[in-house]
Amino acid sequence: MTVLILIVVALIAIILYLYFYRQRGKTTAYHPYLESLIALLENDDDLAMKRLKEAVNIDSDLFDAYLRLGDLYRKKGDAARAMQIHQSLTARPTLKKHEEKKLYYALAQDALDASRPNRAISFLKEIVKIDKKETNAYKLILRIYEDMRNYSDCINVYEEGVFKSKDENRRAFYYASLARDKMEKLPEGDQEGEKEVLNLLRKSLRIASDSIAGTYYMANFYERENDPKKAREHYLKIINQHPDYAFLIIPHLEKVSFELGSFNDIIPIYEKITTQHPKNFSVAFALADLYEKKSDVDAAREVYLKLVELFPRSALPKIRLLKIKTEDETLLSALDEIEENFCGQEYKCSNCGNTRSDFSFLCEKCHAIESFAPVL
Ligand SMILES: [Zn+2]
């Protein structure tokens, strides 16, 4: 009996000791943790890291401290170590839903910083498994696929995800871009491949009949297929429905019109657009260029003068006016050189101001579509 009492007393003593020991551990771990939070607020990352390490050494249950410690390693440029710390947390069985989501967001960011976009997507997909309504995770997945120019997966995410008010122009853009990518890799005479491209382009235009990307690539497709008539129809559709995008199609339209023997129809088309949209630089400039080719110098000069008035910062119409004025061969070749080397076209995103030297339907900075226009 005495032995039994002794055993019970010993057991109680052990339980009490363990309980108080843990409590004391937790209390002391909070001090360095609190100090680390203050250091983070004061942007003292080194001190924060030191205190976070102390905190997790005292109490390895502190999820938030581990998470922040991993984040700090990432911030310092050590994405591999960050991922290692964050990954070690995934094995914890006691994580709450919101903690798990936080953890996978951190892991996705680690993977992105380590230039492993596919890994980032797999972490974000874990979040979607936990919470199907997590719109931010879907948005991030879509952005990563856009960065990777993986349009077939953009379509999958966009059509199956939680994008409530779907932007049909964006969906059409994905189909058009997927078609363009396939078209670029298409070997000559691959009829099955051509059919697939055409179907994707048709789908793009069924989704949004006025999609600029859809219409443009459809025109490119017909041009490639030696069908200048259908190519011209689509190029005309762009210049008539989206005259701001005329800059994209002018050389193509002139080429297919020449092939069809309808080059003379172009001047009236440009004249009509210039009358309706006097500030359309690309069309007016192309019109003046054609007047010059037809040796109608007076008409060309008039258009260039108008452009100088409307776009005082643009050098191109001024150079053209100088060229018209002179017959001096040396001066003319110098002006040609200036036009060729110093008037290179730049494009600017109307949404975020990002500039690039070649045209793109997708802004890599802000992810807007159909937002680039020539810098004048
Ligand atoms: Zn942008």
Mean pLDDT, each 10-residue run in order, the chain (376 residues): 55 46 58 87 90 86 89 93 92 89 96 96 94 91 96 93 82 97 92 96 96 97 95 96 94 94 91 94 94 92 95 90 87 85 83 95 95 89
pTM listed for this prediction: 0.83
CA-to-CA distance for 302 and 308, rounded, in angstroms? 10
- Cα of 347 vs centre of ligand 1, distance in Å, is 11
CA-to-CA distance for 191 and 205, rounded, in angstroms? 21
* DSSP H/E element including 299: helix 297-310
CA-to-CA distance for 214 and 210, rounded, in angstroms? 8
Residue 179's identity, in one-letter code, is A
What integer pLDDT is reported at residue 30 of this predicted model?
78
Q: How far is CA 109 from the centre of its chain?
A: 17
- Cα of 360 vs centre of ligand 1, distance in Å, is 11
Angle, CA 113 vertex, CA 108 and CA 115 arms, to 5°: 95
| Helix 329-342 vs helix 316-325: crossing angle, to nearest 10 | 170
Q: How far is CA 79 from the centre of its chain?
A: 23
- Cα of 370 vs centre of ligand 1, distance in Å, is 10
What integer pLDDT is reported at residue 19 of this predicted model?
47
Phi, psi values for residue 55, rounded to 5°:
-60, -45
Phi, psi values for residue 361, rounded to 5°:
-80, -15
- Cα of 354 vs centre of ligand 1, distance in Å, is 5
CA-to-CA distance for 276 and 18, rounded, in angstroms? 85
What integer pLDDT is reported at residue 198 of this predicted model?
97
What integer pLDDT is reported at residue 7 of this predicted model?
56
- Cα of 353 vs centre of ligand 1, distance in Å, is 6
- Cα of 74 vs centre of ligand 1, distance in Å, is 26
- Cα of 46 vs centre of ligand 1, distance in Å, is 35
- Cα of 162 vs centre of ligand 1, distance in Å, is 23
Contact 157, 181 (CB under 8 A): no
CB atoms near residue 125 (< 10 Å) = 15
- Cα of 361 vs centre of ligand 1, distance in Å, is 10
CA-to-CA distance for 170 and 163, rounded, in angstroms? 12
- Cα of 363 vs centre of ligand 1, distance in Å, is 5
Contact 282, 246 (CB under 8 A): yes
